[in-house]
Amino acid sequence: MLKHALLKATEAGAAEIKRFFNGDFKITNKEGINNPVTEADHAAEKAIFEVIRQEFPDHFILSEESGEIVMDSSYKWIIDPIDGTINFANGIPLCCVSIGIEYNGQMVMGAVYNPFLNELFFAQHGFGATLNDKIIHVSNKTEVIKSCLVTGFPYTYLDEPNGPLQVFEKLIRKGVPVRRLGSAAIDLCWVAAGRFDGFYEHKLNAWDSAAGFLIVEEAGGKVTDFKGDKYSPYQPHIIATNGKIHDELVAIVNGAEF
């Protein structure tokens, strides 16, 4: 029932993304210079809400464009109607719908769907992770120096020690390939699928990572904050890896040489 609603909501959001892609849509800007929201973000969010409200009118919702819709419920849907809005707005087909569901504060289910690659990632707590219904696993790399990583940068520059550019520079100077796809949810799912060995980012919101972090964990990976402690999507830092390079990447993100 819950899974059915989750997948239906994900598909409904994705149909709106496809409908607007490469067409005419209104763009407005949120805080920062390059933090757009498009008509498609709102339309996808509306379509997702409609499915949830049909099936579960009393569930709590946290969604990027509408904020919190507070309900007295053990269930909380955490929604990013388009993760990768800049890609979407530029006609780059690397964006997705991302929806995670918490039950009593624990992430129990997540789905991330990129309709352009037709890739649906799904995980249920304790039941593994899948890509289009096939079980997926993280990679086997054991050293950061031999890894392929991915990261993202916030819309406003973070001027702090071991900030996004410092960590990026350190890895690049050592010749480590570090990709930047522009969708944290896809970054996480691609770690889960073994395409990347690790992902780190300095400033995410709950809707960026809610589904993806569960998908990585269920694919056998490890997800923590920058201290290496248990991950919460309600704080900004994330390190998600295959588990084997985790401690090394945590140390590097905190300033260690390698």
| Among 80, 217, 218, 248, contact with ligand IPD (rule: CB under 6 A) | 80
* Residues in region 30-49 near ligand IPD by CB under 6 A: none
Residue from 16, 45, 83, 217 touching ligand IPD (CB under 6 A): that is 83
Instruction: Please provide residue 52's backbone torsions phi and psi, each rounded to the nearest 5 degrees.
Output: -60, -45
Q: What SS3 class is residue 129?
A: strand
252 SS3 class: helix
Determine how many CB atoms are found less than 10 A away from the CB of residue 100: 29
How many residues contact Ca ion, by CB under 5 A? 5
The gap from C-alpha 140 to its chain's centroid, in whole angstroms, comes to 22
Q: How many Cβ atoms from other residues are within 10 Å of residue 8's Cβ?
A: 16
Closest CB 105 distance from ligand IPD, rounded Å: 23
Nearer residue to ligand IPD within complex by CB, 75 or 88: 88
Residues 226, 180: Cα–Cα separation, whole Å? 19
Among 13, 84, 110, 115, binds ligand IPD (CB under 6 A): 84
Please name which of 121, 88, 116, 92 lies closest in space to residue 190, comparing C-alpha atoms: 121
Residue 204 touches which of Ca ion, ligand IPD, none (Cβ within 5-8 Å per kind): ligand IPD
Question: Judged by CB under 6 A, does residue 16 bind ligand IPD?
Answer: no
Partner residues linked to 135 by β-bridges = 130
Q: x-or-dash pattern for Ca ion, window 53-92, by CB under 5 A?
A: -----------x---------------x-xx---------
Applying CB under 6 A, which part among 9-17, 81-89, 171-179, 234-242 lies near ligand IPD? 81-89
Toward ligand IPD, which CB reaches closer, 20 or 56? 20
List 13, 100, 110, 152, residue binding ligand IPD (CB under 6 A)? 152
Question: Which residues are near ligand IPD by CB under 6 A?
Answer: 80, 83-85, 152-154, 182-184, 201, 203-204, 208
